[in-house]
Amino acid sequence: MKKRLICVLLVMGSLLVPQSALAWNYTGHEVVARIAWEKMEPQTRQRIMALMMQAPADADLASLLPADNRPLIFRQRDLFMLAATWADIVRSDEFPQRKEKYHHSIWHFTNFFWRQQNGMAVDAPELQPEKINIVERLGFLQASVVDKKRAAGMRGIDVAWILHLVGDIHQPLHTSARVTDTEPKGDQGGNLFLLSPKETPPREAKRLHGYWDDILNKSFPRNGGETDLAYANRLASVIMQRHPESKMNARLKQGEYAAWAQEGLASAKTSVYPSWLKRFQTPSEKYRKQAHTVAEPAIALAGYRLADMLDRLFSN
């Protein structure tokens, strides 16, 4: 999302770089991966690990494996969770060469344009998504990750992208671009819908997109001293209990990435922009609950779909 935001701000005459929009924040991606890890076949886990550990050193992917004294399987699980955030890690301007080689901002989302008319959500067919987008990339990656003609390390990079994008596509604001009079080219997945006072500098502004990225953290307080991964582990187990796989099995829709994206778009149309959500104001507790009610099952489903996808891809 960041690139799109920067373009708009440049057009507006501002050179300020806005806050980074991460697309579910690290917690969300780690929870999705943790759920998938729980459900994946041991053979799938090991095949994936072998690929990621051969990723080129300049990608800083294999180096996410913690180097402590715990048994390897627990450290591999941590690597799997951290790898789901790798596509955001490589956005960092601190390592420009790594960013240049591995970062692809437009892979993280697709824009389905729509508007509200007389209280109804209608599509805006005059605006079309970019050709390269999250739906198309998932189709691309499912083929490239099992292409044995490709270097194993690059297939490890493909794995990291899959872990991340399966999370992103379940964030409703990654598939939606609402068109309004003030946002005739779409609101960039809620990045142009501001939740902080008008006069807030762009860099510090709170945006609807970021609000949704952070929704788990808003709903689940962290225990004192809890590490990021311990927190994500705890949330994954709560979410799996509340939304067991048995209740979601019929919804896996394997390989139907366009259908997955449409689910997010439907949520965006029905639940993300109620008339009582006001710009330039912190959303109410009622809104937080509504958002959480949408996000939590979406995160569970993302985890189950990710496990199913990887099991199928790496079954032989």
Only one of the segments 18-26, 147-155, 198-206, 267-275 lies at the binding site for Zn ion (rule: CB under 5 A); that segment is: 18-26
Cα–Cα nearest to 86, from 21, 4, 5, 29: 29
Only one of the segments 23-31, 117-125, 155-163, 261-269 lies at the binding site for Zn ion (rule: CB under 5 A); that segment is: 23-31
**Edge-to-edge strand list for the sheet holding 176-179:** 120-123, 112-117, 176-179
Give min distance, CB of 303 to Zn ion, in A.
16
Contacts with Zn ion by CB under 5 A: the residue count is: 3
The residue number with the shortest CB distance to Zn ion is: 23
- Three-state DSSP class for 114? strand
- Closest to Zn ion by CB, 22 or 51: 22
The footprint of Zn ion on residues 208-237 (CB under 5 A) is: none
Contact 114, 124 (CB under 8 A): yes
Which one among 2, 4, 21, 23 touches Zn ion, defined by CB under 5 A? 23
- Three-state DSSP class for 275? coil
The yes or no reply on residue 91 touching Zn ion (CB under 5 A) is no
- The Cα 203–Cα 238 span in angstroms is 34
Residues in the chain: 316
The yes or no reply on residue 296 touching Zn ion (CB under 5 A) is no
Give min distance, CB of 215 to Zn ion, in A.
15
- Closest to Zn ion by CB, 23 or 192: 23
Only one of the segments 16-24, 32-40, 198-206, 259-267 lies at the binding site for Zn ion (rule: CB under 5 A); that segment is: 16-24
- Closest to Zn ion by CB, 29 or 269: 29
- The Cα 39–Cα 283 span in angstroms is 35
Only one of the segments 22-30, 35-43, 135-143, 192-200 lies at the binding site for Zn ion (rule: CB under 5 A); that segment is: 22-30
Only one of the segments 72-80, 164-172, 196-204, 248-256 lies at the binding site for Zn ion (rule: CB under 5 A); that segment is: 164-172
Give min distance, CB of 180 to Zn ion, in A.
24
Give min distance, CB of 117 to Zn ion, in A.
30
- The Cα 292–Cα 313 span in angstroms is 31
- Three-state DSSP class for 43? helix
- Closest to Zn ion by CB, 23 or 179: 23
Strands (E), 19-150: 112-117, 120-123
In DSSP terms, 177 is beta-bridged to: 113
Give min distance, CB of 106 to Zn ion, in A.
11
- Three-state DSSP class for 176? strand
The yes or no reply on residue 168 touching Zn ion (CB under 5 A) is yes
The footprint of Zn ion on residues 108-147 (CB under 5 A) is: 108
Q: How far is CA 49 from the centre of its chain?
A: 21
- Closest to Zn ion by CB, 168 or 263: 168
The DSSP bridge pattern shows strands 112-117 and 176-179 to be parallel
H or E element at residue 307 = helix 285-313
Tokens 């139907």 belong to residue: 256
Point out which residues bind Zn ion (CB under 5 A). 23, 108, 168
